[in-house]
């Protein structure tokens, strides 16, 4: 598994909550286990206590995205560094999942499951993955969806750093809203022009007399 893949752990956790809609999907042990994926051994170690712990880590990860999205890259790095210090990783060389054409392992770096609890394991992986993404591509590649009220986190992998939305659905919704706003403005503009002309006529008439 490549290290870049782990950055998606942070996105998945942050997006279990929609603050503007007062929605929170992280309400049970089963919801926490789904974040790991079916193949993770750490998922089987999740307990009720991890639900509250995961919410705490989620808030801290969202703060990283919020700072980066707002242009405060130093703050984003400081917040991420605090997570890295609290939840250290255990890197290992692995090749058990990938074989080359001759059947030999394709060695790669793998982040081993943390030994203490499920939250620590997930947080370590998410923070390290996000750190690799930030240092490789830049803090401005961490964003929050601009389609109100959605504020889902996303990782911008576009070639020109142009991504503004978490999904095609939000991009379409934002474009439709912008189109309708332009149409309303165009519909109102003739009325405003006529009103201005009328006011101008009333103002100049006494002077002309």
pLDDT along the chain (209 residues), means of 10: 77 95 95 84 91 98 97 98 92 74 77 77 93 93 93 92 89 76 74 51 46
pLDDT at 85: 96
DSSP state of 102: T
pLDDT of residue 173: 84
Say what the pLDDT of residue 197 is: 47
Q: Which residues contact 142 (CB under 8 A, 6 or more apart)?
A: 64, 65, 68, 69, 76, 130, 133, 134, 153, 155, 156
Closest CA to 18 of 77, 71, 62, 84: 62
**For residue 149, cis peptide bond before it (omega within 30 degrees of 0):** yes
pLDDT of residue 11: 97
Closest to 54 (Cα-Cα) out of 37, 75, 33, 68 = 33
pLDDT of residue 89: 84
In this predicted structure, what is the pLDDT of residue 209? 41
Q: Would you call 65 exposed, middle or buried from its count of C-beta atoms within 10 A (0-12, 13-18, 19+)?
A: buried
Q: DSSP state, 159?
A: T
Exposure of 47 in the CB half-sphere (CA atoms within 13 A)? 4
Closest of 77, 42, 26, 172 to residue 164, by C-alpha: 172
Residue 33 pLDDT: 95
* Widest pairwise Cα distance in the chain: 99
Q: Tell me the whole-structure pTM to 2 decimals.
A: 0.78
Distance of alpha carbon 159 from alpha carbon 11, whole angstroms: 20
């Amino acid at each position: 598994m490549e290290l870049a893949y782990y950055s998606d752990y942070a996105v998945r956790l942050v997006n279990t909550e929609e603050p503007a809609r007062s929605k929170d999907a992280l309400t049970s042990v089963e919801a926490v286990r789904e974040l790991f994926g079916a193949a993770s051994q750490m998922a089987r170690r999740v307990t009720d206590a991890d639900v509250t712990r995961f919410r705490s880590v989620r808030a801290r990860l969202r703060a990283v995205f919020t700072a980066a999205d707002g242009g405060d890259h130093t703050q984003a790095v400081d917040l991420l560094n605090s997570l890295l210090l609290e939840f250290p990783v255990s890197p290992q060389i692995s090749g058990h999942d990938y074989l080359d054409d001759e059947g030999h392992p394709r060695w790669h770096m793998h982040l081993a499951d943390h030994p203490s609890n499920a939250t620590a394991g997930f947080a370590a992986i998410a923070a390290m993955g996000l750190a690799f993404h930030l240092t490789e591509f830049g803090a401005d590649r961490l964003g929050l969806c601009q389609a109100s009220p959605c504020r889902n986190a996303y990782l911008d992998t576009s070639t020109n750093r142009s991504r503004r939305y978490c999904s095609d659905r939000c991009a379409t919704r934002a474009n439709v809203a912008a189109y309708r706003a332009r149409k309303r403005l165009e519909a109102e503009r003739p009325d405003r022009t006529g009103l201005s002309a009328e006011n101008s006529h009333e103002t100049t008439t006494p002077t002309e007399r």
